[in-house]
């Protein structure tokens, strides 16, 4: 048995892909079904990518269900027992700064030099963990308060 992917439903594929690109993931492949009225977008970290044309070792699948004509896109809240996606990062402070510079709110700042939380445009929580030992506490992160839910 092998882990393949985590699927999350999205309402704005372009905004969600842009979010994950800021995070460091790349689009691996995209499939559209006019008959099924949906788009699937698969993303992975460069470290999880295998040979060209093959699936990555771990992926995030974005599922966009097309609205019918005249209908607003569906709004998703919470999810069925879904918690969060988690990624190791090389430098949690640099990652959070890159996300902030890209307009992403850091909901739980990395005050401890080890863990932070952000949310996708569809409010899916993403946990960022420092790979290896925690970094020494540093400003502005050490005194930054939590914002919203995470």
Say what the pTM is: 0.77
**pLDDT attached to residue 79:** 59
Q: Each residue of 60-76: pLDDT tens digit?
A: 999 898 888 777 777 76
**pLDDT attached to residue 93:** 98
Q: Of 32, 69, 127, 149, which one is the catalytic site residue?
A: 127
- More confidently predicted of 147 and 73: 147
Q: Each residue of 26-63: pLDDT tens digit?
A: 999 999 999 888 999 999 999 898 877 678 889 999 98
Q: Do you know the residue count of the chain?
A: 150
Look at residues 42, 49, 80 and name the one whose alpha carbon lies nearest to residue 64: 42
- From residue 121, alpha-carbon distances to 57, 77, 90, 101 in Å are 25, 12, 24, 16
**pLDDT attached to residue 15:** 95
Does the annotation mark 127 as catalytic?
yes
Q: Each residue of 1-27: pLDDT tens digit?
A: 577 788 898 889 999 999 999 999 999
**pLDDT attached to residue 25:** 95
**pLDDT attached to residue 78:** 60
Q: Output phi, psi for 28, to 5 deg.
A: -95, -45
Residue 23: partners with Cβ closer than 8 Å, 6 or more residues away: 87, 95, 99, 118, 126
- More confidently predicted of 86 and 109: 109
**pLDDT attached to residue 134:** 96
Would you say residue 135 has pLDDT above 70?
Answer: yes
**pLDDT attached to residue 84:** 84
Residue 37: partners with Cβ closer than 8 Å, 6 or more residues away: 65, 66, 68
């Amino acid at each position: 048995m092998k882990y393949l992917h985590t699927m999350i439903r999205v309402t704005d594929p372009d905004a969600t892909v842009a979010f994950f690109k800021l995070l460091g993931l790349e689009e691996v492949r995209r499939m559209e079904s006019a008959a099924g009225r949906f788009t699937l977008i698969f993303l992975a970290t460069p470290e999880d990518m295998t040979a060209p044309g093959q699936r990555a070792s771990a992926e995030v699948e974005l599922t966009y269900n097309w609205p019918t004509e005249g209908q607003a896109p569906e709004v998703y809240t919470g999810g069925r027992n879904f918690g969060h996606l988690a990624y190791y990062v090389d430098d949690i402070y640099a990652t959070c700064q890159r996300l902030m510079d890209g307009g992403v709110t850091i909901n739980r700042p990395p005050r401890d030099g080890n863990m932070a939380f952000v949310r996708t445009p569809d409010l899916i929580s993403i946990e960022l963990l420092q790979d290896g030992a925690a970094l020494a506490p540093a400003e502005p992160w050490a005194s930054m308060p939590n914002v919203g839910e995470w």
